Chain A
């Protein structure tokens, strides 16, 4: 049985429809990702599920039943943007939130798992971005939740801090907890999620594991060349191409044949790059746009 089930969820703000009939089910112990660009409706979807905002229409089932008052005690949430009570240290804030729950995690274990030891006695608003996200993650876990919501957990973090955060999320996953993650970072989705739903304009446009999605929508490899490598009088190529900034990207199932074609047409291959497709390519294929746009 799915731990969480969302059926035909709709959320309107006036005439604007932020979420347009989203449905999915999340099995227990998996990490489910909502991937999409900014404004796709990911945060609205997750906040309706979290019971922070009310849906316009639709049904949300937790453990097969509509959510009750105990739902908040059983879930942990890391919001995209939030502030905390001022003039409290990291440790005091953890203890304060711990006291709001009946079932609680061991603070020392939590502190060790999220690597909070070095800044435990600092005020909660006087820590770095990476420290803050690990701390917010610890807050989300303070009640030993069965279901954890992570809304854009690594936004604004440098690559090192992002890796550190992912490491902690992997540990949570390894502990058997169910995770719902929203992100516009395909690397994050690929690194953490077992299953992904790609959202665009309030709808889910594709769903599956990262590998399935890539296989289904981007069969071949991506060949990248600088725009300057192409002569304007070049005869048309056998595959369609996308101009991405100062590069040209082409996708092909037959790399050898395509390289031979480029050589035959006197294209300069000195700066050619070949890479396997990723979720970014899936999104590009599905929408004609990039995730970052």
Chain B
């Protein structure tokens, strides 16, 4: 292997990425938009998980305080009340899952309606009925609250978006780009030089890791200025975990890049891998309580282990030793992906 050839390709690939202004801008803008958007939606006091229709009410944007419904229910957090002038109008919305629950304003008994197939409607009914209990009634339950610093939703969500962005960038930036190069003959042209496959793939991988870490730093700083993220653990430990994670994700990209000349097929394959990985790695929601096989299946994805380690450090103050198992799995996955990618790689097929 000649380091000069590897460096030359590394520089050329970085130039390509940095000069492609549309792709370059999007790589930074996308995570900002997602985090900003979700921060606004979930971070403020106005976030509502359930929508409850009330009729008859003159305005759609009903002010809860003015609604003639049980006070305890009216004060429930995370419920948005939507006013309807007529029952027919409200029934139509309930039928089409536009609202989760419907109640008629007025004195008791309070008539209410829900869609039997709506899980949210079922939950709201429970909330509604419990709100009708007489005040001061002693319940056979004891309320306790977690003490210490609270983890804001955005602090839990932020690592997910960052790592998801890394995943897409690694898979498409290597997998798709190399397949495109194979199709349009760039790889054929490079094959005609003394460049070896190992040198070429190493340059691709190192370039992508460099760009991933660079993008990560810029997005982190930008988002931190807006949301003031709290990191319980060490930034150095985070950087190590992100680096190992980007290695494994980029190596997975190399496996996809190893064969094929069809961009359509590569896109299909990338989606086939990226979408389950995104949903099962707990980027968007927890899979706690999901069937055992789902949780086991999620472990085949590097993003699962990367995200777990990042959240442990960021949210729980874990150190490198605490995230050792995740790092070990990521390292093993990297080696396995590299071995498969190198074994399968072809310059022109």
Spell out A's residues near B (CB within 8 Å).
50, 52-53, 69, 72-73, 75, 77, 79, 81-88, 92, 96-97, 99-102, 143
Least Cβ–Cβ distance between A137 and chain B, in angstroms: 13
A87/B194 in contact, CB under 8 A = no
Least Cβ–Cβ distance between A47 and chain B, in angstroms: 9
Q: Which residues of chain A are within 8 angstroms of B8 by Cβ–Cβ distance? A: 96, 99-100
A84/B193 in contact, CB under 8 A = no
**Considering the chains assembled together, what is the distance between the CA atoms of A99 and B194 in angstroms?**
10
Least Cβ–Cβ distance between B165 and chain A, in angstroms: 22
Write 13 A-B pairs (CB below 8 A) sorted by A numbering.
A50-B192, A52-B347, A77-B192, A79-B185, A79-B189, A82-B184, A82-B189, A83-B185, A83-B189, A87-B19, A88-B15, A92-B15, A100-B194
Given A72-B192, A82-B185, A83-B189, verify A99-B5 contact (CB < 8 Å): yes
For A140, give the chain B residue with the smallest CB separation: B192
Contact with A along B191-218 (1 / 0, CB 8 A): 1111100000000000000000000000
Q: Which residues of chain B are within 8 angstroms of A83 by Cβ–Cβ distance? A: 181, 184-186, 189
A81/B16 in contact, CB under 8 A = no
Query: In this assembly, does B299 line the interface, its C-beta being within 8 Å of a C-beta of chain A?
Result: no
Query: In this assembly, does B93 line the interface, its C-beta being within 8 Å of a C-beta of chain A?
Result: no
Least Cβ–Cβ distance between A125 and chain B, in angstroms: 10
Least Cβ–Cβ distance between A130 and chain B, in angstroms: 19
Query: In this assembly, does B239 line the interface, its C-beta being within 8 Å of a C-beta of chain A?
Result: no
A97/B193 in contact, CB under 8 A = yes
Given A85-B12, A87-B20, verify A101-B193 contact (CB < 8 Å): yes
A sample of 8 more A-B contacts (CB under 8 A), given A52-B347, A73-B193, A79-B192, is A75-B192, A79-B189, A84-B186, A87-B15, A88-B15, A92-B15, A97-B193, A102-B194
**Considering the chains assembled together, what is the distance between the CA atoms of A53 and B349 in angstroms?**
10
Q: Lowest 6 A-B CB distances belong to which pairs?
A: A82-B185, A87-B19, A83-B184, A99-B8, A100-B193, A77-B192
Given A73-B194, A99-B5, A100-B195, verify A84-B15 contact (CB < 8 Å): no
A82/B188 in contact, CB under 8 A = yes
**Considering the chains assembled together, what is the distance between the CA atoms of A86 and B180 in angstroms?**
11
Query: In this assembly, does B150 line the interface, its C-beta being within 8 Å of a C-beta of chain A?
Result: no
A53/B12 in contact, CB under 8 A = no
Query: In this assembly, does B131 line the interface, its C-beta being within 8 Å of a C-beta of chain A?
Result: no
**Considering the chains assembled together, what is the distance between the CA atoms of A206 and B8 in angstroms?**
45
For B184, give the chain A residue with the smallest CB separation: A83
B195/A52 in contact, CB under 8 A = no
A52/B348 in contact, CB under 8 A = yes
Q: Which residues of chain A are within 8 angstroms of B185 by Cβ–Cβ distance? A: 79, 81-83
Least Cβ–Cβ distance between A67 and chain B, in angstroms: 13
For A136, give the chain B residue with the smallest CB separation: B189
**Considering the chains assembled together, what is the distance between the CA atoms of A83 and B181 in angstroms?**
8
For A142, give the chain B residue with the smallest CB separation: B193
Q: Which residues of chain A are within 8 angstroms of B5 by Cβ–Cβ distance? A: 99-100
With a 10 A CB-CB cut-off, give which of B8, B181, B193 has the most chain A CB atoms.
B193
Q: Which residues of chain B are within 8 angstroms of A101 by Cβ–Cβ distance? A: 193-194
Query: In this assembly, does B13 line the interface, its C-beta being within 8 Å of a C-beta of chain A?
Result: yes
Query: In this assembly, does B4 line the interface, its C-beta being within 8 Å of a C-beta of chain A?
Result: yes
Contact with A along B1-26 (1 / 0, CB 8 A): 00011001101110110011000000
**Considering the chains assembled together, what is the distance between the CA atoms of A143 and B185 in angstroms?**
20
**Considering the chains assembled together, what is the distance between the CA atoms of A73 and B2 in angstroms?**
13
For B17, give the chain A residue with the smallest CB separation: A87
For A98, give the chain B residue with the smallest CB separation: B8
**Considering the chains assembled together, what is the distance between the CA atoms of A79 and B193 in angstroms?**
13
B186/A52 in contact, CB under 8 A = no
Least Cβ–Cβ distance between B90 and chain A, in angstroms: 56
B195/A79 in contact, CB under 8 A = no
For A123, give the chain B residue with the smallest CB separation: B19
